[in-house]
Amino acid sequence: MRLLKVATCNLNQWAMDFDCNLKHIKDSITRAKEVGAVIRLGPELEITGYGCEDHFLELDTVNHAWECLKEILLGDWTDGILCSIGMPIIRGSERYNCQVLCFNRKIVMIRPKMWLANDGNYRELRWFTTWKQKDQLVEFQIPPEISEALSQNLVPFGYGYIQFLDTAVAAEICEELFTPNPPHTELALNGVEVFLNASGSHHQLRKLDLRLRAFIGATYTRGGVYMYSNHQGCDGARLYYDGCSCVVVNGEVVAQGSQFSLKDVEVVVAQVDLDAVASLRGSISSFQEQASCKTKVSSVTVPYNICKPFNLKMLLSSPQKIMYHSPEEEIAFGPGCWLWDYLRRSGASGFLLPLSGGADSSCVAAIVGCMCQLVVKEIANGDEQVKADAMRIGNYTDGKFPTDSKEFAKRIFYTVYMGSENSSEATKTRAKVLADEIGSWHLDVCIDGVVSSLLSLFQTVTGKRPRYKVDGGSNVENLGLQNIQARIRMVLAFMLASLLPWVHNKKGFYLVLGSSNVDEALRGYLTKYDCSAADINPIGSISKQDLWTFLRWAANHLGYSSLAEIEAAPPTAELEPIRSNYSQLDEVDMGMTYEELSVYGRLRKIFRCGPVSMFKNLCYKWGATLTPSEVADKVKHFFKYYSINRHKMTVLTPSYHAESYSPEDNRFDLRQFLYNARWPYQFRKMDELVQEMNGDRVAFKETGEDGGTAAGGGGMGVVAAASGNPKAGF
């Protein structure tokens, strides 16, 4: 047996906070050494933080990273342990995203990333270049000040692996694993047994399974020990890095870290037998054949044994069942942990939420309540950092600290129901009951006086007073009156957030939480500078359907039973007067259902469909119940309002990223915001297709054939079968 103890970690880094990041790195190395690990893997760009973005273009960022690495190497942290540390490095005139492999106070080699993440939320090619010289390792001159301190001038730089006396180790950085021809394939044929994947991977609903399947697949058919390390937490922007560092051996997970946690440092340890890797490879004929004619990869020799012989006191890590959270748990824990990081790092002393008693704002309230529960639980588990942060934010004195989530919520969470003459007693009651269940400090405010004053001012200036549509007003008047209420609520929310700390004799300010969802943002069914205006929004990238499911789950699992009644109520903005024969409903206002919106959103973003492609695909999906003309009308209606309202995305509240069809304009969904909303060319093409299809249907009927739409195949290849329900999710 060749026994090897390895350690990977989740680190909660903060972009550009070098003191914080260095502390976490040292702590993780110390913990790894304490348990006897001889390899420690950290996440991608861990010294600087992954989310530095254009700060990577600053020489200071690279220089500070070198200074931090120097401090690590001058101490005893790397004595007897191979440490893979992520940082940016400049070689000549190029900047690279690198893993620096260190051992016994020396840099063994520097491995630059060869394939950069450059889609979705990632823009690595903006800051880094890819390493293209795969056939050799080159010499890299360490910066003079660092070189002098380390007594080391040159170090191998490039694509290769480290050859110890008893095994071989190589790095594979994040995106490289997911390329069509990943490096681990070639490295395995060259005898590499341990793979180190440093990553900066963000949370997205239902994504973890895809990631873990990649690790399992990397070693299932070719053998190996695959170590994965990831950031965990909010490092300063919209993404939540969801940890789940793990160790996989020959296609089986033997150690797995948490996906969501308030911990700053979590070390995941595994003890493996490398002879099991050699045995598997030796049993696969095709592996033997391909290894015999492999392309040689360069290596760096380190004359040192890192494995231990057979010892009954050293227990091997056994395969374990993979831990997956349900989507409802992901919505609770991911945004909850993200909010905690934002709160404790922003200098704020609490959250303020306009709580309407509707589904969306109630989801946000429940997530904050979940955050408070997580804080109290982590303090009970002995986390001193969480305890110190909670005591500071909650203004605890005399050594007291949170022991009850409701009591803690009362100190840091403020909710306000801003009702008007259009609000119902039902939503007012629901907001109050939910606030009591969570423990928030709740206010009930009537905005009618402010609305009336503004309308009187408008009447004085113009001589006219607008009326609601139900009272005989026009659509323009109706919309204007709704927007006035919404924007008054925004102004009042920010005033309360600024001044309530003064009222409560607290330092700092309160962060205003938004509560618009991804579907309403896509359609533009929100008021610019109301629902689009808050400090942060934990649900802005979550679909309405997922939020409804979350409400049902949270009613049972978080202890907020009133959420069940909120989920059952029909969604309404309550911005128009309630009459015996009229009640405002969101889906009626939008002219489409939330389920349909999810379909449009996924086709538009995930499957990259324009109006014509979307129409073709929906003819297959909805053809059993809708005619081509009806499908065309629905697609036109969606694209009309999507394009008219796209400008609202430019000021959309920074939102937790959770959904792959988010229309968020700042980072993820980059498109124009001034459209020709008539889409003349595209809609004309759709009309032509409708005419052709109607003609085909007539021809089918004349020949006695079934005029129904085919139920499978064809089209753009996106939709495989027709659905009998035009409201069905995609």
Instruction: Name the residues annotated as catalytic.
Output: 44, 113, 174, 356
213 CB-near residues (< 8 Å, 6+ apart): none
Residue 299's nearest CA partner among 87, 101, 105 is 101
d(CA 268, CA 258): 9
What does residue 3 show for φ and ψ, rounded to 5 degrees? Answer: -90, 135
d(CA 179, CA 118): 12
Is the CB of residue 332 less than 8 Å from the CB of residue 255? no
Q: Is the dihedral of CA 585, 586, 591, 595 positive or negative?
A: negative
d(CA 375, CA 380): 9
Q: How do 161-163 and 168-171 pair as beta strands?
A: antiparallel
Pair of tokens at residue 590: 């939008």
User: E strand or H helix at 443, and its extent?
Assistant: strand 441-446
Sheet holding 510-512, edge to edge: 441-446, 413-419, 350-354, 510-512
List the beta bridge partners of residue 230: 10, 199
Helix 628-644, helix 611-622: angle, nearest 10: 140
663 CB-near residues (< 8 Å, 6+ apart): 518, 521, 522, 601, 605, 646, 649, 669
Is the CB of residue 190 less than 8 Å from the CB of residue 281? no
User: E strand or H helix at 268, and its extent?
Assistant: strand 265-273
* E strand map for 363-428: 413-419
Is the CB of residue 482 less than 8 Å from the CB of residue 527? yes
Q: How many CB atoms lie within 10 A of CB 591?
A: 15
Q: Hunting for tokens 């009951």 — which residue is that?
A: 433
Q: 3-class DSSP state for residue 421?
A: coil
d(CA 159, CA 280): 26
